[in-house]
Structure formats: C-alpha cells, structure tokens
Amino acid sequence: MPYNCRHCGGTYCADHRLPENHDCSGLQNWNDPSGVFDSGFDESVNGGTSTSKSASSRVLDALPIDTGPGGPLAYFRGNMTYTFLALMWLTFLAQWLTLLIGGGALHRTLFVLTPQHPEYVWTWVTSVFSHSPGDILHIVFNSIVIFFFGPLVERYVGSRKFAALFIVSGALAGLSQVAIQIYQGPVIPGVGGVLGASGAALAIMGVLTVLNPKLTVYLYMIVPVPIWLLTAGTAIISVFFIGLGTSGAGNVAHAAHLVGLLVGLAYGEYVKRTKTVRTSGQFRLGGGGPGGPGGPGGPGGRRRF
C-alpha cells in the first residue's frame, strides 16, 4: 500500500514511508530547535546565520508574523490553505449579511474590485476572498481547486510564502481584469468589477505545473490528465477570449485567470531554481469543474474568477 509523506509530498511503499528511509528533504530540519520540519513560514529558525537573502525573503521577514511552536500563531504553521478556505466561506457569509443589511451599494464598496474605484485598496484583498453571492458553484469550485492543490504548494514553499503567493497573485489578477475593463471602456457607474479566488487558485496550479508537470489530475473527477495539459488548456482559453476583446466573456474573468496562472508559473520557476523540491508523479488529485476553477459566470455584470 503506497503512503504519501506529508513533509515532502512523495509517495512511498511501507518500507520507505518514514522520512528517514526515503531521504526526505525535510530531514535537514529534524533537529531544528524551533520545531520539527519547519514549514518555511517563520524564517527566523535560520538563526540569522545566512549571509545573503533574496529581496522576496527580506520582504517576508519584515512581516510581523511569528508561527513558532510556542507563538500565538503556531496553528497557522502548515495550515494556511485551510485558513484561507475558512476565510473564503466566512467572507461569503459576510457578503450575504451585507446585502441583507446594507444593500448592493455597500456590498460593492466592501467586496468588489471595480473599475470605478480601483483606489479602494481594501477591495484588492477582500475581492480575492469574495465570490458571487447568487451562485454557490463559484465558491464551491474554487474551494475544490484550493483544497486539493493548496496543501502541496504550501508544503513545497512554506506557509508564509504560500500566503503571500495567494494574496499577491489574487490581487494582481483582479487589478489586471479591472485595468482591461477600464481600457475597453466606457466605465459605467455600478457596472463591471471582479471578485473571486480563481486568480489565486490558478497561481497555485501554475506553481505545481512547474514543480511537478506530470502530476495526474482527474478532470471533472473522471478524466485523468497531466496537470501541464490542464494548465495549457486554461491558458489557451483565456488567451482566445482576450484576443477577441472579450476578456469577460460569460461573466468569467479570463484576464484574471491568465495573470494568476502566469504569476504561478513564474514563481514556480523561481522556486525550482532556488530550492530543492521533491515531487511525485504518483499523487492523484481530483479537481476542476464547469468553466474551470472559476466556473460559470456570475450575476450583476461582475467578472468572477
């Protein structure tokens, strides 16, 4: 019976299921005084011995987040994927409450990144966790992709870097879609905008495509395909609609999909070049859904992704 190592993501037989029996990449942190198998979320476990750090590492170090075993945020060590999934569903509930209490105008101000007000910087983040209130499938399909793919990427890069990837890629995806809406014009009050986590979900998929391109994914839970083929198909569809000048065709934010995917591919290549990553082509995932991770279009002229 095959066993999946939760530290490196590889799949091994019973004789090699233990980390020390398959040369697990996490063994180097076995004697880490700040915790066994550091997730990478708390860079301070390096003890400051590194003489040089990348710009991204310095930025991450500046974040006031400490997930050491004894810290108040220790739970998030290795659990950012599930934390973000919980935030998505809590935000979905908050959206409904806002609609019931404050109406559509307040909901749009708080949760939708719009071409009318891209300067509302809070929507750069809230829109990533928000989804179309009138379409439960929107959040369900995004949750499926993040649930299956997110933990693998989080193991590869660490929790803090995963959190940064999720939020930054989602925000860039949304801003790109809004920029195209502004460029295509005209900007009509109360019309347009974007919300959804598909940009972040596709960034996660992009990272996996670079690190483990032969990973098998069950499309629609039935058809087995390598993840690189699913990624290529998503990119082709997005480029096709953008090329036609219909980046929001079917109320799906194709530009946001493409940008999120490109961010993930770029970051995956960076990780591949700077970090030893053990992957396995035997791990099977089920994911996808109608219209891809974004699903079918949402109501109200907003582009969902």
pLDDT digits (tens, 9 = 90+) for 246-299: 555 556 777 888 899 999 999 999 988 886 555 554 444 443 333 333 333 333
Per-residue pLDDT tens digits for 161-175: 999 999 999 999 999
3 DSSP β-pair partners: 12
Mean pLDDT of 157-162: 88
Instruction: Tell me which CATH code domain 75-273 carries.
Output: 1.20.1540.10
Residues in CB range of 77: below 8 A, 6 or more apart: 35, 39, 41, 42, 67, 69, 159
Q: What does the pLDDT read at residue 293?
A: 36
Residues in CB range of 209: below 8 A, 6 or more apart: 227, 228, 231, 264, 265, 268
Mean pLDDT of 105-111: 93
Q: What does the pLDDT read at residue 16?
A: 77
Strands 216-219 and 284-287: parallel
Whether 46 has a pLDDT exceeding 50, the answer reads no
Q: How far is CA 219 from the centre of its chain?
A: 18
Per-residue pLDDT tens digits for 48-82: 444 445 555 555 555 555 555 545 555 566 688 99
12 DSSP β-pair partners: 3
Q: What does the pLDDT read at residue 255?
A: 82
Contact by Cβ (8 Å): 221, 146: no
Residue 214 CB coordination number (10 Å): 12
Per-residue pLDDT tens digits for 112-137: 999 889 999 999 999 999 998 888 88
3-state secondary structure of 226: strand
Instruction: Give percent of the chain above pLDDT 90.
Output: 30
Q: What does the pLDDT read at residue 134?
A: 82
CA distance 64 to 225: 41
Single-letter code of the amino acid located at 120: Y
Contact by Cβ (8 Å): 88, 139: yes
Q: In this predicted model, which residue has the larger pLDDT, 50 or 229?
A: 229
Single-letter code of the amino acid located at 112: V
Q: What does the pLDDT read at residue 27?
A: 58
Whether 17 has a pLDDT exceeding 50, the answer reads yes
